[in-house]
Structure formats: structure tokens, C-alpha cells
Amino acid sequence: MLEFGCNTGSSAIVLATLGAEVHGVDISAELIEVTRLNAERYGLADRIHAHHVPDTRHLPFPDGHFDIVSCVSVLEYVPEEILDAVMKEMDRVLKVGGVMHVGGTSNRLLPRENHSRRWFIHYLPRWVTGNARIERGVAPWRVRFGFGPHYLNVDRLDGGKAYLTARAAMGSKGWKMSAFRAINALVQAVGLTPGYFTPSLSMTLRKLPTSSAP
């Protein structure tokens, strides 16, 4: 699998421990070195392969190379002017039938940016801030359709049960779990999933043959 934006390798270590062979890419050479050191520290150097890729519009892998692409808290940091190209490149390296998972990305629908905790920054047009690099989230429909029309949102296939199970495993309980269940029931009725509306986007997509686009 591909860990897109592997940072220091923490997610790659978890994935490799679960049995995956992980190729991690990052634009930072320093972070790639830390990923390699962490892989060695945990005895996973044979399962984690770290690649410094300064321009992720050009990944060093052939078409359809990966079964899974994981992208956690990354897309909101990709410059807007290259985001479409980067997402198309992620699609290129994922095999037909493979899974694209995007999680942890700040949701531009909501009034508060999830990382900087700044209010209403999502709603400011870019000309207001000029060339300043202001953290903004990504719209959920950009994640849903930005990789191409030939993807199925598999979060819907079980009525959101896997999503709710994951939220519980992450420590959500009480009123939070009740809220997640209520949101799930509402959005499933209109063909959406809870990950569209939470502060951090969560979406799992399966790549279909282009002739089978929903």
C-alpha cells in the first residue's frame, strides 16, 4: 500500500505491523529520514520503504501499483493550484478494485478549521488573504469526486456500521456516539455518509473500471 504523506512514519508503522508492505512518500527529505529511522527502531525496515518525492504530481510508481492508498491529514496542506493534479496521480497508481482512504483532513464545510482552530477561515475567498499560506480544509465533494468519477463510496455499503465501529474504537462514547448514530441515520437516507460532515473528513472509496463509473 501507499502511505501518501507519511510524515514521521507513525501510520506506516501501524499499517506494517498489521501486515501491509508500505511505501511511504513525503515532500520533506528530513521526515523521510525520520520515517526510515522509526522503521528500523520498530524492526520494520523490510516492510516500510520511504521515498522522498519533492513533487507529488509525479510519483515514482507504475500505473495500478497499489492495492490501497492511505492519505491521512495531508490534502489540506497541498497547494490549491496543484491539488487536482496530485489527486489524479494518486488515482493513477491505485489498481482497479483498490481502496482509496482519506481521513483526518479538515472539513471545509464547517466554520472552524480543525488544525489551526481558526473560525470562518474556510469561508474567506482566497483573494482576501492574497499569497499568504492560510490553512483551509477541503470540501467533502472534492474528496469524493476529485480522484475521478469511477469510485464507489464503500462507507455506504454496510449502512455506516464500520464507520461507527471505528469511531467507538477511537474512544467516542456517550453523547458523541449518539450524535454519530443520529448523523449516520440522517445522511444515509440521502445517499451520503457521516464522514462528509465531521470536522475531520473520512471517506473510503473503491476504484472501479472507468466503464463502471456510478
Q: What pLDDT tens digit does each residue of the chain (214 aa) get? A: 999 999 999 999 999 999 999 999 999 999 999 999 999 999 999 999 999 999 999 999 999 999 999 999 999 999 889 999 999 999 999 999 999 999 999 998 888 887 888 888 877 777 676 655 677 789 999 999 999 999 999 988 888 888 889 889 988 889 989 988 998 899 888 888 888 988 889 999 999 998 665 6
Give me the residue label for grid cell 515514482.
Answer: 60
At 137 the pLDDT is: 87
At 132 the pLDDT is: 58
Helix %, strand %, coil % of the chain (to 5): 40, 20, 40
Taking a C-beta distance cutoff of 8 angstroms, is the pair 204, 147 a contact? no
The pTM (predicted TM-score) of the whole model is 0.90
At 48 the pLDDT is: 98
B/e letters for 86-123, b = 16+ CB within 10 Å, e = fewer, are: bbebbbebbeeebbbbbbbbbbbbbeebbbeeeeebbe
Residue 26 C-alpha cell reads as 513525503
What are the φ/ψ torsions at residue 97 (nearest 5 degrees)?
Answer: 95, -10
Residue 156 C-alpha cell reads as 455506504
Fold adopted by 55-157+199-212:
Rossmann fold (3.40.50)
- The edge-to-edge listing of strands for the beta sheet with 2-4 is 48-52, 22-26, 2-4, 66-72, 94-106, 200-207, 151-153
182: buried, middle or exposed (CB in 10 Å: 19+, 13-18, 0-12)?
exposed
